Amino acid sequence: MLSVKGLRANVGENEILKGLDLEVGPGEVHAIMGPNGSGKSTLAHVLSGREGYEVTAGSVTFEGQDLLALEPEERAQRGLFLAFQYPVELPGVNNTYFLKAALNSVRKSRGEDELDAVSFLRLIKEKLKILHLDDSLLKRSVNAGFSGGEKKRNEIFQMALLEPKLAILDETDSGLDIDALRVVADGVNALRSPERSMIVVTHYQRLLDYIEPDHVHVLAKGRIIRSGGKELALELEEKGYGWVVEEERAA
């Protein structure tokens, strides 16, 4: 589904990703862990097409297509979704209007009909329930004045609505208390399916107690230095990042 090979990317003069390889198959959940500054968020941003990053080498193919050649909206239309670490507030932009436009844009590119108002509302109410969100949220502006937890739930709610093939969750656990974390994780788990892959970017092992990954990768200094199963996350939790980084240096 997703194949990243030798990816190198700069922010300004600084090289952040230094030859990153990653293979994600259909239905797989990959956790990417690493210390601050290791390049986790850069990877999420480069994959979703955010401006300000320069890819200097390597390739990314998504379902056989050159992902890096696509505009951010084309990536979304083809089934890529980024749950933001810091969801952006859009004052004045009505949530319902935004969701409907986004959903119809994605549906259109999948060759599906646009949803009429009634079917849209029905769908939206069903998805809101999964995330324990109140439908008053629909009348508000996108993320404006939302609490930290509401913003993160709103991200997963959008994911539930857009039904991506590959979801990238960028530090979705940051800033959440344990109850909110559980709701978000339940939402994510409800969306797991053999066709849907996920990349869960996180600093802490905590989230992985709730969203169980198939593979865990350790990212340090712009490269994946170690990969393993879910037990790797537990080991990291116990020994800290210093352990793998040291080991890598010794090798």
Partner 1 sequence: MNGTAPASFETWLTARPDDRTGAGLDWLEARRRSALDQVREHGVPSAKQEAWRYTSLKRLLEQGFAQVDDTVTALRLDDIEELLIPELDSHRVVMVNGRYTPSLSALGDLPHGVRVTGLRALLANDPDALRERINGVAGERQPLFAALNTAGLDDGLVVLLDRGAVLERPIELIHLSVGMDEPRVAQPRHLVAIEAGAQATLVERYVSLGASLYCTNSVLELSLGRDAVLKHDRIQEESPNAFHITGLYLSQEENSRYQGTNIGLGGAWARTDLFTRFQGEHAECDLLGLYLAGDRQLMDYHIDVHHAVPSCTSRETFKGILYGKGRAVFDGRVVVAKNAQKTDAAMSNKNLMLSENAEIDTKPQLEINADDVKCSHGTTVGQIQPEMLFYLRSRGLSAPIARRMLCMGFAGEVIDALHADALRERVSEQVGQRLESAPLT
Per CB under 8 A, residues contacting partner 1 are 48-51, 71-73, 75-77, 81-82, 84, 87-88, 90-94, 97-98, 101-102, 105-106, 109, 141, 158, 162
Q: How far apart are the first and last CA of the chain?
A: 31
Shortest distance (Å) from residue 181 CB to partner 1:
23
**For partner 1, the closer CB: 92 or 242:** 92
Let me know the angle formed at the C-alpha of 15 by 84 and 233, rounded to the nearest 5 degrees. Answer: 55
Shortest distance (Å) from residue 19 CB to partner 1:
26
By residue count, the chain amounts to 251
- The torsion angle over the Cα atoms of residues 45, 49, 53 and 56, rounded to 10 degrees, is 110
Please give the structure tokens belonging to residue 241. Answer: 């990042």
Shortest distance (Å) from residue 199 CB to partner 1:
15
Shortest distance (Å) from residue 39 CB to partner 1:
19
**For partner 1, the closer CB: 9 or 224:** 9
Asked if 156 contacts 188 with a C-beta cutoff of 8 angstroms, the reply is yes
d(CA 136, CA 145): 13
**For partner 1, the closer CB: 70 or 234:** 70
Strand ranges for 25-89 from DSSP E: 29-33, 54-62, 65-66, 80-83
Shortest distance (Å) from residue 82 CB to partner 1:
5
**For partner 1, the closer CB: 93 or 234:** 93
**For partner 1, the closer CB: 105 or 174:** 105
d(CA 17, CA 47): 12
